[in-house]
Amino acid sequence: MGNIRFTPHALQRLNERGISTETVINVISDPSSQATIEENGNIRVQKAGLVIIFRKEINGILVVTVFRDENKK
């Protein structure tokens, strides 16, 4: 899968929402996570009430943002 990096925005959202980087990495790495490609090319992964938006880059994965899916509470 390669290197997983986080934008400053993603790190801020993780901190605000009490979500660990380890949790995000586990969800991205889990083959049972539901993934869709958005119109802008970003990848949206959902699992266990979390939504993670990231994009693949040459040197790995860049996490753009993370939030809780309010419909999955």
Q: Write out pLDDT tens, residues 7-37.
A: 999 999 999 999 999 999 999 999 999 999 9
Just give the CATH number of 3-72: 3.30.2310.20
Report the pLDDT value the prediction gives residue 72, as an integer from 0 to 100: 62
pTM above 0.75, yes or no: yes
Is residue 6 pLDDT above 80, yes or no?
yes
Distance separating alpha carbons of residues 73 and 65, to the nearest angstrom: 19
> Domain spans of the chain?
3-72
Burial of 20 (0-12, 13-18, 19+ CB in 10 A): exposed
pLDDT digits (tens, 9 = 90+) for 44-69: 999 989 999 999 999 999 999 999 98
Is residue 2 pLDDT above 80, yes or no?
no
